[in-house]
Structure 1
């Protein structure tokens, strides 16, 4: 729903072609589908996801984790006495960003005490080091980490 004051400008923008794919991108996508490039890219992404899931599984073997081997993220149920918000803050002090489950709920209520770990962005060695740091953090207590 656009604000009434912007309706004319938005309509003009849409009429100018901003709502359709650019010809080059459309042609490239069409060719990649025909020549098998898309299938190769999908297979490569799936292999990389499996490798990254393996790295995560190796580090998080002693914890409750929910994931899919084809995904680039996992949900980590935090051990007691950690709370997701406290863990997120402690991880951030180590330069590691994780997202509390509450960020994915409609109203922030009834979220599990878990964090979402993104596995796609960092290089594999950086991912492994970050997961090692997070595991070390999870095995400590929040009180131990107040001065971190």
Structure 2
């Protein structure tokens, strides 16, 4: 088994450094594949990443991030109890939209009200995407801003558009 991770997911989006851990018998193959498939980060960035990991600072930052993500998921559960929550601790959630909502008009109306959500089509690999939106829980600066945004999303879900939606 080969484990692959990235500090851009674990610590901060701009920290574009990844790591792979493999059985010793596969190390040379994994290293060759990494060199062939990707550009390498600067030596300085790789050094900072290694120091953060070795010192324990990366672990502490990740633990703090996990605590904050759990708090934000708890807030989301208060406002959106019917949303699809995964077992994973992720900084976003997916909301399957009720009829007659469609994802693109929902996202546009949310944006008009000051909340940015992403329609599922932004992540689709085919032409067919579910009528769902992705809500980022990490984008708001604080819990108050998150609560305001989730209240807007909740209200939109409760009050479908009058006269249907444009398809």
Same fold (TM over 0.5): yes
The answer as to whether partners of 2:93 and 2:135 remain within 8 angstroms in 1 is yes
For the pair 1:120 / 2:156, whether they are aligned, the reply is: no
Q: Using CA pairs under 8 Å that are at least 6 residues apart, name the structure with larger relative contact order, 1 or 2.
A: 1
Count of residues in Structure 1 that have an aligned counterpart in Structure 2? 126
Q: What is the deviation of 1:113?
A: 1.4
For the pair 1:96 / 2:128, whether they are aligned, the reply is: no
Q: Which residue of 2 aligns with 1:57?
A: 77
Q: Which residue of 2 aligns with 1:133?
A: 152
User: Is the partner of 1:64 in helix, strand or coil?
Assistant: coil
**What TM-score, normalized by structure 1, do the two folds share?**
0.76
**Cα separation, 2, equivalents of 1:58 and 1:49:** 14
Deviations 1:97-142 (A, max 9, x none): 1111122112331x22110001111122111111001111111121
Q: What is the deviation of 1:48?
A: 0.9
The answer as to whether partners of 2:83 and 2:93 remain within 8 angstroms in 1 is no
User: Where in structure 1 are there 5+ consecutive unaligned residues?
Assistant: 1-18
Q: What is the deviation of 1:25?
A: 2.0
- From the superposition, tell whether residues 48 and 120 of structure 1 become closer, same or farther in structure 2 (CA, over 3 Å): same
Q: Which residue of 1 aligns with 2:66?
A: 46
Name whichever structure is richer in helix by fraction: 1
The answer as to whether partners of 1:53 and 1:69 remain within 8 angstroms in 2 is no
Q: Which residue of 1 aligns with 2:127?
A: 108
Q: Which residue of 2 aligns with 1:37?
A: 57
How big is the alpha-carbon RMSD for the aligned residues of Structure 1 and Structure 2? 2.0
**What TM-score, normalized by structure 2, do the two folds share?**
0.68
The answer as to whether partners of 2:100 and 2:164 remain within 8 angstroms in 1 is no
- From the superposition, tell whether residues 129 and 26 of structure 1 become closer, same or farther in structure 2 (CA, over 3 Å): same
